[in-house]
Chain A
Amino acid sequence: QQPVQSPQAVILREGEDAVINCSSSKALYSVHWYRQKHGEAPIFLMILLKGGEQKGHDKISASFNEKKQQSSLYLTASQLSYSGTYFCGTETTDSWGKLQFGAGTQVVVTP
């Protein structure tokens, strides 16, 4: 089951903050976050695991609410390099190792 991401798109000025949400209709084992720039491969940002463990870049923060089956990615003090499409990938507890990706959130950061 594909997770639902919101918003579909967001436009920010440099220095502004944004939140991207990802929700699942099924119980989650993990949530992965990736960013993809046009014409390039997705790049890893963060993994959040059931039980609270997180792995990722220091400058990226995210939360995982297991009970609500939701995750949020926080873009703080955005930079021009943050522009791209952000995807969450979810692995449900009944689907070992299989990431289902959301439709993506397009982020544009302007000067």
Chain B
Amino acid sequence: DTAVSQTPKYLVTQMGNDKSIKCEQNLGHDTMYWYKQDSKKFLKIMFSYNNKELIINETVPNRFSPKSPDKAHLNLHINSLELGDSAVYFCASSQDRDSEQFFGPGTRLTVL
């Protein structure tokens, strides 16, 4: 059973397009996260939701909009994609701030 799943695994698209990445966790966790890992492997938090409420919103362009329809899902929509958005995006979940984070397999986004 997959704990944290993401779709799609790979996403190749043109500059200016709009795309979404979906994330689901079946661990019953209350908190979900989006991270961006760039080509230098730097892992940076973007957003965090707790029980469908946004609790962390880092300095991210407003072209990025997370949406949490329920506790088990956290989606990421990106408008007007730019070359610099190319990266691997990881979704993660945890029970609370003092617990381990379980990462999804990642979505490799390539903007041409």
Instruction: Point out residues on A near B: beta carbons under 8 Å.
Output: 30, 32, 34, 36, 40-44, 47, 49, 53, 55, 85, 87, 89, 91, 96-101, 103-104
Contact = CB atoms under 8 A, between A and B. Distances in A.
Contacts, number: 56
B106 A97 contact: no
B101 A97 contact: no
Contacts of A40: 105
Interface of B: 31, 40-45, 48, 50, 55-56, 58, 90, 97-106
A43 B90 CA distance: 12
Contact of B100 (A32, A85, A104): A32
A85 B41 contact: yes
A contact patch SS: strand
Contacts of B41: 36, 85, 103-104
Given A41-B105, A101-B43, 11 more contacts: A42-B103, A44-B100, A53-B98, A55-B98, A97-B50, A97-B55, A97-B56, A98-B58, A100-B45, A104-B41, A104-B42
A103 B42 contact: yes
A49 B106 CA distance: 27
Nearest to B106: A41
B86 to A, nearest CB: 16
B97 A91 contact: yes
B48 A97 contact: yes
B90 A42 contact: yes
A28 to B, nearest CB: 13
A70 B101 CA distance: 21
A25 to B, nearest CB: 17
A36 B45 CA distance: 16
A34 B55 CA distance: 23
Nearest to B108: A39
Contacts of A101: 42-45
